[in-house]
Amino acid sequence: MRVGAGRTRVAGPRRKSRKGATAKVFFYVISPKPDTLTRPSRYDVFIREPLEGEHCPEDGKGILLKSGWKTGMGLYSAYIFPHLMDRVMGRPGFQRLRSETLQSAQGEVLEIGLGTGLNLPHYSAGVSRLRAVDPAPLLPERVATRLAAVPFPVEIMHLSAERLPYDEGVFDCVVSTWTLCTIPDSLQALREIHRVLKPAGRFLFLEHGRSENVRTAAWQDRLNPIQQVIGCGCNLNRRIDRLIGQAGLDIVQLDRLVMEGVPRIAGELYRGIAMPDRTGINLQPETDGRGATRSSAPPR
């Protein structure tokens, strides 16, 4: 059914929430040509008007994706890697960390990098609505199944986080888990996170990145070009705390962790909470992690 210029709406299912009430599933997906994509019937489809400077196809059906379907995703990145990622990142150790990180998310929440929806079961009933962005629709059937279990409406837009289509100061919470490693311009994405957070909003992050151990960091630098290929753009050696500070966010809690059962070059984690620093750009010091709570496995 047509509901306005540039929009196509497909009826979604109704399901019972945790309180027993019936609620509509809201699932919005950006697509350049919705009639050519295979999608589950439960999807609502939203075709966004182009932002300033973005290219819109001549047929006017919507904004072209910069990555993802129809934009060069090969067999490995479109099919093989999503399944591998979902299997590895869905292991109990990863799920425990997700639960610990997301338990305080509430209100209007934005998730950067939805992926295959592994975070969805870990949001509490305090979330009133979840919006999510991801440049590519990974395992959409699996994502739809996970969406059916949450009690709040969800809106998903397939675009990169460097330019978010939201007004300033609209989110109570922004979430990023194992995502900043892959965004091409992660600093710009963090500046956008700063922009869309409410003054008292919180940025919850759980990311892997550069080790404080000199030998481990050296190996991260050596292996990073290979990781970028097999990890579809993933970087091993980004200083997550410095990037967050350079974007004008003030880190109020930072835990440095080393995951058990994961090679240390990929298991060095930054987990914490940051808030907008409205007084100016806050540059985090080189040794920011030293004064924070630290919990780690013995060096391997």
pLDDT higher than 80, residue 195: yes
pLDDT higher than 80, residue 254: yes
54 or 121, higher pLDDT: 121
Q: Work out the burial of residue 37: count CB atoms within 10 Å of its CB; fewer than 13 is exposed, 13-18 middle, 19 or more buried.
A: middle
Q: Where residue 95 falls among pLDDT bands split at 50, 70, 90?
A: very high
pLDDT the model gives residue 74: 81
d(CA 31, CA 34): 5
pLDDT higher than 50, residue 40: no
Q: What percent of the chain has pLDDT over 70?
A: 68
Q: What percent of the chain has pLDDT over 90?
A: 66
Evaluate whether 1 touches 9 at the Cβ level (below 8 Å).
yes
pLDDT higher than 50, residue 6: no
Over range 138-161, report the average pLDDT: 95
d(CA 159, CA 136): 7
Over range 214-240, report the average pLDDT: 97
Over range 219-248, report the average pLDDT: 97
pLDDT higher than 80, residue 65: no
pLDDT higher than 70, residue 292: no
* Highest mean pLDDT out of 9-18, 31-40, 286-295: 9-18
pLDDT the model gives residue 279: 59
95 or 23, higher pLDDT: 95
pLDDT the model gives residue 13: 43
pTM: 0.73
Over range 182-209, report the average pLDDT: 97
59 or 89, higher pLDDT: 89
Q: Which two tokens stand for residue 141?
A: 């059937």
**CATH classification code of 2-291:** 3.40.50.150
